[in-house]
Amino acid sequence: MKSRKLLVLLTIGLGHCLQLGAQEMTPVTVGEKTYQQYCAACHGAQMKNPQWGFDLGKFPRDSKIRFIDSVTYGKNAMPPWEDVLSKDQLEALWAYLQSVPASM
Ligand code: HEC
């Protein structure tokens, strides 16, 4: 009886771990990681309080083409990311931006 209970707990625990593992693979979490690695230094952690440059909280949430374009080819003081990021990473960054509430 006791060992059976343990087994149930183990199964639940394992399922939970697998679920967490799966969550790490969503575009949003991939985008968040990519953002922390390449963008946060200038645009601020969680896209808040940017050190300098553009507040991504204010980036229009319906302007995907402009986003991909600006990030790919750069804009003024922002370097281009064409040679650094894959298309999937750009898509993931866009997904992450969508997941962050717009600031006023
Ligand atoms: C070296 C600092 C720096 C880094 C790193 C950086 N940016 Fe920027 N970014 C800027 C600056 C400065 C601007 C404002 C450009 C302007 O409009 O003059 C900007 C503007 C933007 C814009 C607005 C472009 C538009 O159309 O108005 C987006 C979107 C953006 N950055 C996304 C990103 C993403 C995504 C990354 C990471 C891959 C990133 N940035 C990394 C400095 C940076």
If you write DSSP's letter for every residue of 53-98 in order, what string do you get?
S--GGGS-TT-HHHHHHHHHH-BTTBPP-TTTS-HHHHHHHHHHHH
Residue 3 lies in a domain: no
Give the pLDDT score at 9. Answer: 64
Domain count, the chain: 1
Other Cβ atoms within 10 Å of 15 Cβ, number: 10
Q: Would you say residue 95 lies in a domain?
A: yes
- In the reported structure, the alpha carbon of residue 31 is separated from the centroid of ligand 1 by a whole-number distance in angstroms of 15
Q: Could you tell me if residue 60 is inside a domain?
A: yes
Q: Which residue has the tokens 């650094």?
A: 84
* Model pLDDT, residue 16: 59
Domain annotation covers residue 43 = yes
Please tell me the predicted confidence (pLDDT) of residue 45: 86
Contact in structure between 93 and 85 (CB atoms under 8 Å): yes
Q: Which two tokens stand for residue 99?
A: 């997941």
Verify whether ligand 1 is closer than 6 Å to residue 76 (CB atom): yes
pLDDT 10s digit of each residue in the chain, 104 long? Answer: 667 776 666 666 666 555 555 555 799 999 999 999 999 999 998 888 787 778 999 999 999 999 999 999 999 999 999 999 999 999 999 999 999 988 86
Give the pLDDT of residue 88. Answer: 96
Cβ-contact 6, 70 below 8 angstroms: no
Please say whether the beta carbons of 32 and 98 come within 8 A.
Answer: no
Residue 16 within a domain: no
Name the residue range of residue 90's domain: 27-99
Measuring from atom 26 of ligand 1, which residue has the nearest CA? Answer: 70
Q: Is residue 51 part of a domain?
A: yes
The CATH number of the domain where 71 resides is what? Answer: 1.10.760.10
- 14 is a domain residue: no
pLDDT of residue 4: 74
pLDDT given for residue 35 in this prediction: 96
Report the separation in Å between the CA atom of 25 and the middle of ligand 1, taken as the mean of its atom positions.
25
Per-residue confidence (pLDDT) for residue 18, from 0 to 100: 58
* 46 found inside a domain: yes
Expressed in angstroms and rounded, the spacing between residue 14 Cα and the centre of ligand 1 is 40
- CB atoms inside a 10 Å sphere around CB 12: 10
